[in-house]
Structure formats: structure tokens, C-alpha cells
Chain A
């Protein structure tokens, strides 16, 4: 019996190729992240900070110090919302790199409602969220239309839209929307109190946005697993050809996905201005690169909407670590970009491994015929090596 190309014997291990299992995916991802932390440790060491000391300080200041732990969720909130949206987009094979711009568009729309409409009272926040969703969705509309109608690469267009949004926001806050009462500073007036999101007492967590994120993650998981649209998204993402045959409307599916994806990022933008800043300000302060980090959040979640609950928290932890390293270790906040870049590199670098699975499948005796001929006769784990 000959061995197909999908099985290879390497010493006592058998390497199989096929669909990755959940446990194997988790193991490879965990090892990739661990490797990224080790590599980052090497960089700290080169910088002159003992990596073991650094990680000990981070662990202590992020997890042990009272009041520090909830801080993780401040950046988890925008990462969760944008991350869930990106999971949807990536599932449909639409590489939306424009979450940063869509987030900013949402922040602008919410600011418009808070400052320039007469809506006051309990309706203010719901209207702001609705406006933010629409803002983010609209910001993602042009790239999706260009992709669908003219097959223009969405990675480039969504990326360009980020910078257009960035300059748009900085034009707003230095120009027409600069607050008359803030004289000289580049931001808008403060929002009226009815446009402030409530916080969990004793923390800085604007909980309505967090609840929205969790609901959205659960909703998207149901959408993907149980609905017609979810089925269409999955088929189109895995096999566009097949999607056409079974009559899935690619235009409609991708448009809906992008509206949801951009809208979710827009909601994150609302959370930042209504829950954290209470005004619109310099775009680099509205979003600390959340739209880009969310790409890693979504990538690590491997297409599972609910997994973003974990991955967004992980990156919330990294943002908190950045704060700690700035304060306790006198390192610049940019150090979070080192973590982000390394984790992303190790994740995509280990992607090939996912297709392989290593099993313990020792040979019977040294006198056996070559493993390539003998191995497949035995189910794995049947016998022990003595």
C-alpha cells in the first residue's frame, strides 16, 4: 500500500495534512503568541530592559494592582466591536483594512448628533449610536462598490479611505467644528451631559458599548451559523464559484457584510467619543490604532465571531501593558506596536502549520520496511514505544 502525499513519517511521528481541528488551531495560535512574546522580550533586552523583570512588572501592574484590571476593557470595547465586524468581512473574503476610517466616521457622525442637533435627553445616545453605525457603514460603501462593480482591490481602497477620514477629522477639529469655548485647542466643544455614556462605578468602562459589543459578537455568531445570510457569507468566502452556482447574490452579500462591518466599527467610534473623550479631537487620539489592531483581533479569532470576546480582551491587555510600560518602565507607548507587529507576523507565519497534524506513530521495529510503506497500516496511538 502506497502512502499518499498527505501523510509523511518523520521519526516516530506521522505528519498528516488535512482540515485543522479546533484544538490544533488553538495550540498553534497559542504557541505563535508565546513566540511573539519571547521575541518581544529579546527586543526589550536589546533596548536595555530585562525582559523577565518587564513581564513581571506588567503582570503585577495590569492584573494585581487594584483598579488596574478594568482598564483592560477600555480598549477591549472598541477592539471587540471593530473585531467582530472584521470577522464578518474576512469570512466573506473581503479584506477590510479600513476599520480605522470607519471608526472615525462613526465618531464624526455621533459628534454631529451630540453637538449640532437639538436632540437632548434619553434619546441622544441611541440616536448617536444609530448615526455612528450609518457613518461607519457609509465610509465602507465606496470601497465595496468599487470592489463589486469594478473589481478594484479593497485592501488599497479601504486603506486610502483611512487617511481620508484621518485628514477629514483633523480638518473638522481645527476648522468648522473647533469649539468656540476651547480657544486655541484643536477639538470641539464638550458634549452635553445627555451624550455621555454611563460608566461602571469606580471604573472607566462605558458599559453600554461593552454590552453592545458582546451582543454584536453573539448576534454575528448566530448570523453566521444559523441564517441564510450567514450561509451565503460562508459559501461565498470559501468558494465564490460554488456561491454563484447555488444562486447566491455576491453583490448583495458583500454589500450587507460591508455595511455591518463598517457599521460595527462606527459603533466603536461612538463609544470612544461618547464614553471616553466627550468631544471630537485629534484623530490619533480618538483611535489609538484600534482599527488596525482589530485586524489582528479578527485574524486570531479565525472567523469565529464569539472568539473575538477572547482575542479582543487579549489585545486590551496589550494596550494596558503599553500604558504600564510607559509609566513603570519609561518605555514609549509605541511598544504596543512591537507586540502587535510580532504577534501578527507569528500568526500568519504559523498559518501553514495549521494544515499539518503531528501524530505519535512509532515504527514497530528497526527491521521494518521503510516507514513510508508501513505507517498507514497502523492506527495512531495503538501501541506504545518501549
Chain B
């Protein structure tokens, strides 16, 4: 009985940390399904975390905080969309720039907000974890069972074909990237409003990169992202929980090592399930191959 309780306790805590991972990964999956990699997750999340905290502190409503997080995440993603879709710059580098800028901006603006607990935090086991799972199902249904899903996936697989069908490739990509950024913002907001209701500079601490890894690990499938987020969240929680017996770092490395392993396995044995969107990372210009 003790063991069962212990495992349940670990899973519940793993779910708490898995929640921002899931929200962020869903956003990344959504954007990548339209063919745009966004390595700016860390930047969008930290901006979301700060703006959520500031808005929640000022208004007293954690919900408004999350709304602010979604808005700032979307705005940050808009910058990435402009540079990588309209200006057709290298998506990977643009994302890195967004991460740097986000970390810098949040660090700058957040000065003076550090060290105060949030007066009215959201309980950790609030609506967000179940809502995340629901969102995963919704995005899965959207991708595979709606016309919009077909359009989005076509843009990610074969933008030229989408273009020939009369689809505005740039518009679809903009929408996907901005929506993905909004989810990343909420993921960051969850950290500062619910998970650790306070603001500290650099509080995302690399979670944004785990999100990028998670999107790949889950093979761009929103439903698999639920399990993957729970796994990565649990690993992170165990790294604290087992500190007395094992040092935390080997467990904290796991998500990163797993992702490399999965990429290698997928490439070696050509698992069809692990195929990336065909046009992922490639800018699209009509008439260019």
C-alpha cells in the first residue's frame, strides 16, 4: 500500500511538471505540423511566465495572468513568423534569436518583481492539467478529422501542393506559429502562477528545450505528447524525489538523451511513425524547389 501511494504521489507530481511540458509541446507540434520549427520556446515561455505573474499580481486574477501569457507568447511567435515565413530566414536561427531575446527581455523587465510570492495563485491541480489533456485530444481531432487539419498538414508536408490548391501557405503558417506561441506562453504562465507561484529570473531553466525535444519524442502526435509529457515530468520530479539515493543530474539529462536516442532509432529503423513533416524547417517561395 505504501508503494502504491508513493507511485501515485510521484505520478501526481510528475503531472504537475508535465503540464507546462504538454502545453508547450502541443504548441510546438502544431507549428511544426505546418512546417515551421520554433526553437524560441524557451524565450516565449519565460516571457509568458513573467507577464502572467505581473498581470496576476496587478489584477489579482491568475486567469488574467494566463491570458496575458497567451498574448505575449503569441506576439513573440509573430516575430518568429515574420522573420522565418515572410523574410524566409533560417527557422532554426530565428528561433534561437527569439530564445535569447525572450530571456533577455524577461530578465530586464522582471527586475524588481523577484522575491514576492503571488498573492492569489492558481492551485497546481487546477483546471490546467485536465485542460491540457483535453487540448491534446482536440488538436489531434483537428489535425486528423477536419478540413483545417488537412490544410495545415499539407502546408507542412508539401507547401507547393497546398499552394497549387489555392491555400495561402504563409497565412496558414502564421496562424500555426502564433497559436503555438500562445500555448507556449500559457505553459510559461503555469510555472509562475501555479507550479511555483512567484517570479524568478530564468525560472524556465531549460524547460523550453525539453518541450522542443518532447515534440520530436512524441513524433509530432498530440496524443502521444500526453504520455511523453507525463514521462518527462515524472523523470524531473524523480530527480528531486530520489536525491537522497541518486544524484539528480543523471535523471535530468534523460529527456535530452532520450530525444537523441529516439531520433537515431527513428532514422535507423525508419519507423514510419516517427517521420517528421516533409517540409519542416524549409521556407516556402512559390516557384522555388
Residues from chain B with a CB closer than 8 A to the CB of A334 are 103-104, 106-108, 201-202
Known: A43-B108, A334-B103. A150 touches B264 (CB 8 A): yes
Question: A160, A337, A339, A342: which has the most chain B beta carbons within 10 Å?
Answer: A160
| A54–chain B nearest beta-carbon distance, Å | 12
Chain B count of residues within 8 A CB distance of the other chain: 47
B267 interface neighbour in A43, A47, A151, A332, Cβ under 8 Å: A151
Residues from chain A with a CB closer than 8 A to the CB of B101 are 337-338, 340-342, 345
Known: A163-B253, A341-B104. A152 touches B92 (CB 8 A): no
On whether the beta carbons of B212 and A146 are closer than 8 Å, the reply is no
A43 interface neighbour in B97, B105, B250, Cβ under 8 Å: B105
Residues from chain A with a CB closer than 8 A to the CB of B281 are 153
A331 interface neighbour in B111, B201, B209, B252, Cβ under 8 Å: B111
Is there a chain B Cβ closer than 8 Å to A142's Cβ? Answer: yes
Known: A332-B111, A334-B107, A344-B96. A349 touches B249 (CB 8 A): no
A299 interface neighbour in B93, B99, B216, Cβ under 8 Å: B93
Residues from chain B with a CB closer than 8 A to the CB of A295 are 93, 96
Known: A146-B267, A160-B213. A337 touches B104 (CB 8 A): yes
| A270–chain B nearest beta-carbon distance, Å | 23
Q: Beta-carbon contacts of B61-77 to A below 8 Å, as 1s and 0s? A: 00000000000000000
On whether the beta carbons of A341 and B249 are closer than 8 Å, the reply is no
Interface residues of B in 209-224 (CB under 8 A from A): 209, 212-213, 216
Of all chain B residues, the one with the shortest Cβ separation from A295 is B96
A-B contact count (CB 8 A): 139
On whether the beta carbons of A341 and B257 are closer than 8 Å, the reply is no
On whether the beta carbons of B104 and A336 are closer than 8 Å, the reply is yes
Interface residues of A in 324-369 (CB under 8 A from B): 331-342, 344-345, 348-349, 351-352
A168 interface neighbour in B39, B87, B249, B260, Cβ under 8 Å: B249
Is there a chain B Cβ closer than 8 Å to A372's Cβ? Answer: no
Residues from chain A with a CB closer than 8 A to the CB of B99 are 341
Of all chain B residues, the one with the shortest Cβ separation from A338 is B104
Known: A331-B111, A335-B108, A344-B96. A146 touches B260 (CB 8 A): yes
| A167–chain B nearest beta-carbon distance, Å | 4
**Besides A156-B213, A163-B256, 11 other CB < 8 A contacts?**
A43-B108, A47-B108, A146-B267, A157-B260, A159-B39, A160-B260, A163-B253, A167-B249, A168-B253, A332-B201, A348-B83
6 contacts between A and B (CB under 8 A): A156-B216, A168-B253, A171-B249, A292-B100, A340-B101, A348-B87
Chain B residues within 8 Å of A, Cβ to Cβ: 39, 43, 79, 83, 87-90, 92-94, 96-109, 111, 201-202, 206, 209, 212-213, 216, 247, 249-250, 252-253, 256-257, 259-260, 263-264, 267-268, 281
